[in-house]
Amino acid sequence: MYYNKDCDINFLKKKIVTIIGYGSQGHAHAKNLKDSGINVNVCLKKNSKNIDNARNYGIKVIEINEAVKISDVLIILIPDEDQRDLYYNFIHDYYDKGKTLIFAHGFNIHYKQIIPRSDLNIILIAPKAPGHTVRSTFVDKYGVPSLIAIYQDYNKNSLNLALSYCKCLGSGNVGIFLTTFKEETETDLFGEQAVLCGGVSSLIISGFETLVEAGYSPEISYFECLHELKLIVDLIYEGGIKLMRFSISNTAEFGDYYIFENFYYNLFKIKMKKIIKNIQNGNFSKEFILDKKANFLKLNLLRNNFSNHLIEIVGDKIRKMFKFKTKIIN
């Protein structure tokens, strides 16, 4: 674990830094680095709607050819599926040796979609929060934890550079974890698929459908299987599963342990071991890459199917009864 005391911002202050992309993570990185005194540019497409946003904050917008020519450090913050083409079309043959590439996710390096030249420094820096949180916590003089990994250390100084970058993001205030590209990639995919996205959405939809098919109203089923989930997740986020179990009724807590032991745990472990194996052996990455080559035919079909699911129709109606506020700092 590293903190601000381990980070020297001067390792980055001496560099020209360019962030490729200005989406959720890109805008946060760019603004946090600029506020930390770093010479930072952003690289965007000519028709990007984010050009004015960056310029209005005093960040110079440059094209990819100029970025590769003048930058000491390039941070690739565009979608995973677009990074291979970017690298081989604009970076691989044109980026000077001894310069640095930073990724926020290890997918393309770990699964060999990008095989970088051996004379480059290849670093991973992954803040563990959405971009608006990376930005808002920085503004609040706090920060979010970050993961760092070194894949290639041509200049023998990549760790210091990574720590300097993390300090500029605000992560040095709370903690910086050392990992590997392999560990970050495989655990990130597993967390998304088995728990955070695939697991949660499967559990919600299965529960909703079970209640509706048993004759209960869609509205009540929505409340019980989706709406109240935030109450539970907030408790877990603030104090772990222990706080959640302390805060709920004895009936709910007993039901928690009862279902855990008798229905879910062993079944989930069997399925999750298959999920992690599918990630480790590259099968998931192959399917994702193949679907990208097919213009995301399967992804778009699934998006369309699930967007018209009864739970979304009922949810649209119920959510109008509530006023939601999300703190987002651009």
65 part of a folded domain: yes
Percent of the chain with pLDDT over 90: 94
Of the pLDDT bands very low, low, confident and very high (cuts 50, 70, 90), residue 150 is very high
188 is in an annotated binding site: yes
Question: In terms of Cα–Cα distance, which of 151, 138, 139 is closest to 111?
Answer: 151
Residue 247 lies in a domain: yes
Q: How many CB atoms lie within 10 A of CB 198?
A: 15
Per-residue confidence (pLDDT) for residue 323, from 0 to 100: 74
Asked, for residue 287, whether it belongs to a domain, the answer is yes
Mean pLDDT of 249-259: 97
Q: Which one is catalytic: 27, 29, 105, 110? A: 105
* Residue 45 marked as a ligand binder: yes
Q: Which two tokens stand for residue 106?
A: 């290890």
Which of 197, 178, 180 shows the shortest CA–CA distance to 275?
197
Residues 34 and 172 occupy one common structural domain: yes
The domain boundary residue, chosen from 146, 179, 212? 179
Place of tokens 């050819």: 65
What is the total count of domains within the chain? 2
Q: Distance between CA 137 and CA 319 in Å, rounded? A: 28
CB-based contacts of 143, cutoff 8 Å, min separation 6? 134, 137, 169, 170, 171, 172, 173, 174
Q: Does 224 show up as a binding residue in the annotation?
A: yes
The domain boundary residue, chosen from 145, 179, 213: 179
Give the CATH number of the domain where residue 201 resides.
1.10.1040.10
Average pLDDT over residues 271-290: 97
Q: CB–CB of 62/90 below 8 Å?
A: no
Residue 46 — very low, low, confident or very high, per pLDDT cuts 50/70/90?
confident
- Contact predicate 36/13, CB 8 Å: no
**What letter represents residue 172's amino acid?**
G
Domain identity same for 156 and 197: no
One domain, residues 125 and 10: yes
The count of other CB atoms within 10 Å of the CB of residue 285 is: 20
**Rounded to two decimals, what is the model's pTM?**
0.92
CA–CA gap between residue 142 and residue 121 (Å, rounded): 29
Residue range 215-235: average pLDDT?
Answer: 96
Shared domain for 175 and 210, answered yes or no, is: no
pLDDT at 45: 87
Q: What is the pLDDT of residue 321?
A: 87
Same domain, 145 and 29: yes
What is the residue-wise DSSP string for 79-132?
A: -HHHHHHHIIIIITTTSPTT-EEEESS-HHHHTTS----TTSEEEEEEESS-HH
Considering the domain boundaries, does residue 63 fall inside one?
yes
The verdict on whether residue 192 carries a ligand-binding annotation is yes
Non-local CB neighbours of 43 within 8 Å, separated by 6+ positions: 18, 19, 20, 21, 61, 62, 63, 64, 67
Residues 160 and 15 in one domain: yes
CA separation, residue 59 to residues 37, 77, 101 (Å): 12, 16, 20
Each residue of 113-139: pLDDT tens digit? Answer: 999 999 999 999 999 999 999 999 999
Same domain, 154 and 257: no
The answer to whether residue 233 is domain-embedded is yes
Q: How confident is the model at residue 288 (pLDDT cuts 50, 70, 90)?
A: very high
Q: What is the pLDDT at residue 8? A: 95
* Average pLDDT score over the chain: 95
Specify whether 158 is located in the same domain as 89: yes
Query: Are 280 and 211 within one domain?
Result: yes
What is the extent of the structural domain holding 35? 4-179
Q: Would you say residue 51 lies in a domain?
A: yes
Q: 176-189, pLDDT tens digit by residue?
A: 999 999 999 999 99
| Residue 131 is assigned to a ligand binding site | yes
Does residue 185 belong to any structural domain of this protein?
no
One domain for residues 225 and 167 = no
Concerning whether 105 is annotated as a catalytic residue, the answer is: yes
Give the confidence band of 47 by pLDDT, cuts at 50, 70, 90: confident
Q: Is 63 annotated as a binding residue?
A: no
Let me know whether 229 and 149 are in one domain: no
Which of the 8 DSSP states describes residue 298? H
**Please, which pLDDT band fits residue 108 given cuts at 50, 70 and 90?**
very high
**CATH at 21:** 3.40.50.720
82 is in an annotated binding site: no
In this structure, which amino acid lies at residue 59?
I
State the amino acid at position 77 in one-letter form.
Answer: L
Lowest-confidence region among 73-82, 157-166, 265-274, 321-330 = 321-330
Domain boundary among 137, 152, 179: 179
For 301, counting Cβ atoms within 10 Å of its Cβ (0-12 exposed, 13-18 middle, 19+ buried), the class is exposed
SS3 category, 60: strand
Q: What is the pLDDT of residue 325?
A: 59
Mean pLDDT of 73-94: 97
* Cα–Cα distance for residue pair 307/159, rounded to 1 Å: 44
Q: Are residues 41 and 171 in the same domain?
A: yes
Q: What percent of the chain has pLDDT over 70?
A: 98
Tokens in use for 111?
A: 């699964």
Q: Are 153 and 121 in contact, with CB atoms under 8 Å apart?
A: yes
Asked if residue 301 lies in contact with residue 308, where contact means CB atoms within 8 angstroms, the answer is no
- Check the annotation: does 25 bind a ligand: yes
For position 326, what pLDDT does the model report?
54
User: Looking at the domain assignment, is residue 255 inside a domain?
Assistant: yes
- pLDDT score, position 11: 94
206 is in an annotated binding site: no
